[in-house]
Amino acid sequence: MNIGRRRWVFAAGCVPLVSTGTEPAFTSRDQFSVLNTGASVANVRIAVLYAGRAEVGPFRLGVAPRRVRQVRVNDLIFPVAVRLGEPYGLIFDSDVAVVVQCTRQDTGRPLGAGAMTNAWPLRCRA
Amino acid sequence: MADTWRNWSGSVAFRPAVFAEPDCEDALASLLRETHRRGGTVRCVGAGHSASRILRCDDTLVSMKHLSGVIAVDRARCEATVRAGTELETLGEDLYEHDLALPNYGDVATQTIGGAIGTGTHGTGPAQQNLSQMMVGARMVLADGRILEIGRDDDDLLRAARVAMGTLGALSTVTLRLVPAFDVERREYATSTDATLANLDALNADNRSFDFYWYPRRDDIKLRLVNAVGGGTRRLPYARELTRQEGYGHKVIPTHSGIPHRFEECEYALPAAAGPACFREIQQRIIRCWRHVVGWRVLYRTVAADDADLSPAHGRETVTISLHQNHRLPWRAFFADIEPVFLAFEGRPHWGKKHRLRADALAPRYPRWRQFHRVRDRLDPHGTFLTPHLRRLLGITGP
């Protein structure tokens, strides 16, 4: 049985530009996790909306059955690299219900801390 | 006027007065003769993969796509004569039927052999020269329609014609020095930048073809090794294996033919010894200044020295570093900001990619610049193959 929703949104995106520490472990980043609890592959399409420029995407992502997949927003470069240091939002559309969670790691200051933010599910008509 | 012509990435677009697709050498010769007679300008285009303006021509643009195919094969000498408009991918398949192969490929095999020779297209490997060095003979159609036969002993002509950007004449057929068909093993690994640079000399020495992609958004690296099956570096404790693939060279070496994501590219060739330091400087500059819009990778490769007059690898073992940028994101300012770093390390630009150099900056970087011009002036005295951009590039002010 699939847990979650087919559409999720995340409004508070902004990948921190500055990193400290060894990369890629300590690269400042926004990251999302997609949990697919169902028995079939989840085909997820992601649109990136900016504050001051046209949206980009779709970024295409498959999540295997009964798996979670974690992707850095920094690594979304096809079809076009997501801009870092700019406010953005994400719209996730999946063909099966999934659970999406977004996190941020900001290592810009030596004692910087990571902040976690949930994405919001939207109820879709079938 | 013909339709607007665009290169692969879309950043070079123009509308030639005439667009022609001759289907034989005679038709090509007639076209050139007519253009020459009226004092026009002509450029020949291959696959249009190049992103520099050497293609741009407001007068007559000639597609070579119908001048394609293998003409003759000499298996004993490992040579073949092929039409210049043959795409590398097709050529690899055709030569395989004769148990022959190109010694190397670039990352894509969509270019034509004539275009690859004319721009100094290359793959990677410390013993692998750029593709122009395969050419040991050619038939070239001159501006007045005459056919020039270039033989294997015509050293000055070959040196000039191997990386000539189509400025001497139109290559109709080329005779290539090949190798027996071979199979290879491609292995790719993920690792850190520090580990790669610490092992760079060994990786270069121990592998037929080695290169790496640096990912600016993660500051990590993908190593790519291509060797005879079972050969090359076997133990990489500092890296995680990602993929392994075996097959014939023409199937396994080019990995990105048909890539759907368009990009612009700027590449410089450097003295091999300067490669690591130059890379480090570029890496730091991208992290400091360009990471916000640059997500695509930087490619580090090696090329063996050659003696072609205008080859970026002329006279020196070479490292090439390529910047890639999505065609929809800012690339001019990015490339312009990094170019001074390349130049400080005695860089020579790839003729088929983005760069901003002109003759005054280029000439001192090529020891045989004048010899090339002597050949060019002799073969195309009226400048039929020269556009305004090429005149600025080569510093030609005369006819």
Predicted confidence (pLDDT) per residue in B335-379, tens digit: 999 999 999 999 999 999 999 999 999 999 999 999 999 999 999
Q: Residue B143 has which token pair?
A: 């501006």
Mean pLDDT estimate for chain A: 90
| Residues B218, A82: C-beta atoms closer than 8 Å | no
Cβ-proximal residues to B273 (8 Å cutoff; 6+ apart), any chain: none
Which range is least confidently modeled, B43-57, B229-243, B281-295?
B43-57
CA distance B226 to B228: 7
> What percent of chain B stands above pLDDT 90?
88
Among chain A residues, CA nearest to B191: A24
Among chain B residues, CA nearest to A16: B292
Q: Is B205 buried (19+), middle (13-18) or exposed (0-12) by CB count in 10 A? A: exposed
Q: Closest Cα of chain B to A26: distance in Å?
A: 9
Can you give the C-alpha Rg of chain A in angstroms?
Answer: 15
| Residues B295, A23: C-beta atoms closer than 8 Å | no
Residue A123 confidence (pLDDT) above 80: no
Q: Closest Cα of chain A to B326: distance in Å?
A: 6
Encode pLDDT of B179-193 as tens digits: 999 999 999 999 999
How much is the ipTM here? 0.80
Among chain A residues, CA nearest to B260: A79
Q: Chain B within 8 Å of A65 (Cβ-Cβ)? A: no
**Tell me, what's the pLDDT at A126?**
42
Count A/B contacts: CB-CB distance under 8 Å: 48
Residue A125 confidence (pLDDT) above 70: no
Q: Is the separation of the CB atoms in B318 and B270 below 8 Å?
A: yes
**Which of B220, B260, B294 lies closest to A81 in CB terms?**
B294
User: What is the pTM assigned to this prediction?
Assistant: 0.92
DSSP class per residue in B367-391: TTHHHHHHHHHHH-TT-TT--HHHH
Report the length, in residues, of chain A.
126
Q: Closest Cα of chain B to A44: distance in Å?
A: 19
**Which of A22, A27, A77 lies closest to B296 in CB terms?**
A77
Instruction: CATH number for B70-180: choose from 3.40.50.2300, 3.30.465.10, 3.30.390.50, 3.30.1490.20.
Output: 3.30.465.10
Among chain A residues, CA nearest to B295: A81
**Tell me, what's the pLDDT at B2?**
85
Chain B, residues 174-213, CB within 8 A of chain A, namely: 192
Q: Which domains does chain A have, with CATH numbers?
A: 5-120 (2.60.290.11)
**Which of B260, B291, B328 lies closest to A80 in CB terms?**
B328
Chain B, residues 43-72, CB within 8 A of chain A, namely: none
Domain spanning B183-349: CATH 3.40.462.20: yes
Residue type, B254: P
| Residues B217, A74: C-beta atoms closer than 8 Å | yes
Residue B398 confidence (pLDDT) above 80: no
For chain B, domain boundaries = 70-180, 183-349
